[in-house]
Amino acid sequence: MVMQRKDFIQKGLGGGLLALLASSIDSTIRAAKSFADSKYRGIEGVYSPTNTHMVGNGFKVMNFFPNGRGFEERMSPFFLLDFNAEVNFPPSEISQGVGVHPHRGIETITFAYKGGVEHHDSKGNYGIINPGDVQWMTAGSGVLHKEYHEQTTNKKGGAFEMVQLWINLPKKHKMVPAKYQSIMHHTKPNYKLPNNMGAVHVIAGEYKGVKGVASTYSPVHMYDIHLNPNAELNFSLPPSYNTGILVIDGGININNQQVSENHYVQLKNEAGEIHIKATKKSILLVLSGEPLNEPYVNYGPFVMNTEEEIKQAIEDYNQGKFGFLKD
């Protein structure tokens, strides 16, 4: 008679121990299986705050991407994410920020969370943004701009917190004329959570039928989410869209993982819900976009598709074709 493996185990071990062992293996397998079959979108990584560096003399930023690890490709069309986590700037008589510099082939987007940011560009666009507001500059074929702390806060000093994001332009829109969108917080359409638990302010794309206000050159969803403690929300984004979440303030639990302030969450490219619970009063920035899947070459402030186009950008800049802006 051939003894089955199961019989052997049953005969070889005491019943109580076996039952315990079997049930613990069983529940481990079940847990692993339910995680794999989970309706939740997986988390690829949670990135800690990085060392900071100064951009000009006004922005003390941590760079979440590209950060030398190919993240500009991983998060395409998003190309650069610099975060100036809350810092107290002392009163200053000297303007703090970044002087006149060019861009071509991208959009640069500045989000103010604390303090104010002033913008000027060579097309004559000008704006000051305060907490909640967004400056969305399309560099396109080329523009010069400068960005400084808003003058009153610069002189008084105080808390300063901002984000700068670059979005790469698709090849067919690389050379669109430069433009500027000034988006005030109160003009962002929002989806209110029940019981006054907060709101999803839609900057671009759509959240549960609420459409954002910014125009974009490739499909992008961008949310400024404000949550009160214990607020919960559930949403999903297209599986193919590269998706990340920056915890600007507070702390959250996302798909069963704790994420603290100043951390960046990279989500996997797969179907599934994103479930967020705020463990504190929180502000989040959600970025999700369809990858461009085009070659790119980056040289400083220019992002083009070929080396040749980079050389052209440098030549055009040197010949003054980006216009003029006083420093």
**Nearer CB in complex with Mn ion: 128/210:** 128
**Nearer CB in complex with Mn ion: 108/242:** 108
Residue 62 C-beta: closest distance to Mn ion, Å: 17
x-marked contacts with Mn ion along 149-178 as a string, rule CB under 5 A: ------------------------------
Residue 301 C-beta: closest distance to Mn ion, Å: 6
Residue 52 C-beta: closest distance to Mn ion, Å: 18
Residue 145 C-beta: closest distance to Mn ion, Å: 6
Give the burial class of 100: count Cβ atoms within 10 A of its Cβ; 0-12 exposed, 13-18 middle, 19 or more buried: middle
Distance separating alpha carbons of residues 113 and 150, to the nearest angstrom: 13
What's the token pair of residue 187? 């003009």
What pairs with residue 243 in β-bridges?
Answer: 288
Number of shown-chain residues binding Mn ion (CB under 5 A): 1
**Nearer CB in complex with Mn ion: 96/108:** 108
Distance separating alpha carbons of residues 188 and 193, to the nearest angstrom: 15
Distance separating alpha carbons of residues 192 and 202, to the nearest angstrom: 11
Question: Judged by CB under 5 A, which stretch of 33-41, 76-84, 106-114, 221-229 contacts Mn ion?
Answer: 106-114
**Nearer CB in complex with Mn ion: 108/122:** 108
Distance separating alpha carbons of residues 243 and 269, to the nearest angstrom: 8
What's the token pair of residue 42? 């997986």
Residue 103 C-beta: closest distance to Mn ion, Å: 6
Residue 206 C-beta: closest distance to Mn ion, Å: 28
**Nearer CB in complex with Mn ion: 108/305:** 108
Q: In which residue are the tokens 């490739």 written?
A: 218
Question: Could you tell me whether strands 106-114 and 97-103 are parallel, antiparallel, or unpaired per DSSP bridges?
Answer: unpaired
What's the token pair of residue 199? 């709101």
Which residue is at the shortest CB distance from Mn ion? Answer: 108
**Nearer CB in complex with Mn ion: 106/220:** 106
What's the token pair of residue 140? 């396109």
Residue ranges that bind Mn ion, judged by CB under 5 A: 108
